[in-house]
Amino acid sequence: MNRESYNLIAAQWAAARAAFCGRERDYLEAVLATAPAGSTILDLGCGTGRPMAEHIVAQGRRVLGVDQSEALLGIARGNLPTERWVLSTMQAFEPDRSFQGALLWDSLFHLPRDEHEPILRKVVDALPPGARLMLTVGGSAHPAFTDTMFGQTFSYDSNTPDESRQILARLGCHIVIGEFMNLPDGGRDKGRYAIVAEKT
Ligand SMILES: C[S@@+](CC[C@H](N)C(=O)[O-])C[C@H]1O[C@@H](n2cnc3c(N)ncnc32)[C@H](O)[C@@H]1O
């Protein structure tokens, strides 16, 4: 569902998602703070590469972007042709050990929640100690749901912020930043929680 939906809205998504919102830039800077110049950041569910990959490259690091949407990945390739872009699901992608940071930004919550810990485990396993990852999770306890964007349907599921922090602790990470980007409104908006974690 999500793959076709993102392919269908690629142009609208690219137009809407060009700049950082909230403290996104601060979170990304926190990841880059432990990634040496020239090192590579893994971006799982990278979308068009804007603004995240674009900023990573502007700060002197490289990007390996992974996304299941051919249309969004094509835009990313056009935006940043020097970087590596892989058409794959997050579930199927097997990272090697060449990364010094990772993003799962606004992407993990499109997968069933029972898939989140295994994916986080393979990402954390691939990172060296001291490297950081950033991710968003839903901001409240609720069953999986669907919502619409630009007329298309998308599925969402998430562990709570506390459960997500516990998962990261089990995986040997400590939390550097953990804060709400927006609070749940008790209705359509389930809230969104940002995490920057460091592999201990
Ligand atoms: C809300 S967008 C966020 C894109 C980008 N991370 C950003 O911050 O703008 C979600 C992205 O996750 C990708 N995605 C969703 N499910 C995926 C999956 N199972 N495997 C790989 N990519 C996926 C979508 O194609 C889309 O590019």
Q: What is the DSSP string of 96-110?
A: -S-EEEEEETTTGGG
Mutate to test the pocket of ligand 1, among 21, 44, 68 (most ligand atoms within 8 A of CB): 68
How confident is residue 53, by pLDDT bands cut at 50, 70 and 90?
very high
How confident is residue 188, by pLDDT bands cut at 50, 70 and 90?
confident
Mutate to test the pocket of ligand 1, among 67, 152, 157 (most ligand atoms within 8 A of CB): 67
Is the whole-model pTM more than 0.75? Answer: yes
Question: With 0-12 CB in 10 A as exposed, 13-18 as middle and 19+ as buried, what is 132?
Answer: buried
pLDDT digits (tens, 9 = 90+) for 93-141: 999 988 999 999 999 999 999 999 999 999 999 999 999 999 999 998 9
How confident is residue 187, by pLDDT bands cut at 50, 70 and 90?
confident
pLDDT at 97: 87
- Please say if the pLDDT value at position 189 is more than 90: no
Cα separation, 102 vs 35, whole angstroms: 10
CATH level 3 topology of 2-199: Rossmann fold (3.40.50)
Q: Chain-wide mean pLDDT for the chain? A: 97
Instruction: Name residues contacting ligand 1 (CB within 6 A).
Output: 2, 6, 17, 45-47, 52, 67-69, 72, 89-91, 105-107, 110-111
* Four-point Cα dihedral 105, 94, 168, 106, nearest 10: 10
Average pLDDT over every residue of 67-76: 98
